[in-house]
Amino acid sequence: MKIVNGRFSVEISSGFDKFWCYNIAVTCGCFDGDGKRTGFASAEDTVADVGANMQAPPAGYRTPRTVTFETEPCSRLLMYIYIIPHTLPADNDIAESKPFDLKVRVSRDGERVFERTYTINRWSGASLELSIPPEE
């Protein structure tokens, strides 16, 4: 396997109109070609405390909402993405609380190396683990 080092750029986004009901936290370990951790990167976008039960988005909130960050040069990432609901859907009807899409894009030195859309449950949020590039 060829070891490629580079600076990773991560973008996590959603155009879901009620994405303001969720906090986003990302932790990311950076590893060299031998599997040793060489660094750490993280990002967080908190709208409200868990249990806030907000009735409307905060002033100035815009969609799509995007969280981005960059890493130091490395060869591989092990990333954990947490989508944490702070305000649950107001309606108990499942048909009114359908899942929403979350896009994750990762580039290394400007070249896209990963892109995937995840379906997120509106009640539970999500915990995602990603290895970039995937381990062989």
How confident is the model over 36-74, as pLDDT tens digits?
Answer: 999 999 999 999 999 999 999 999 888 899 999 999 999
Residue 8 maps to a domain? no
Residue 27 maps to a domain? yes
SS3 state at 96: helix
Query: What is the extent of the structural domain holding 86?
Result: 21-132
pTM for the whole thing? 0.92
Average pLDDT of the residues in 17-35: 95
DSSP string, 46-82: --S-TT---SSPPTT--SSEEEEEE--SBSEEEEEEE
* Domain total in the chain: 1
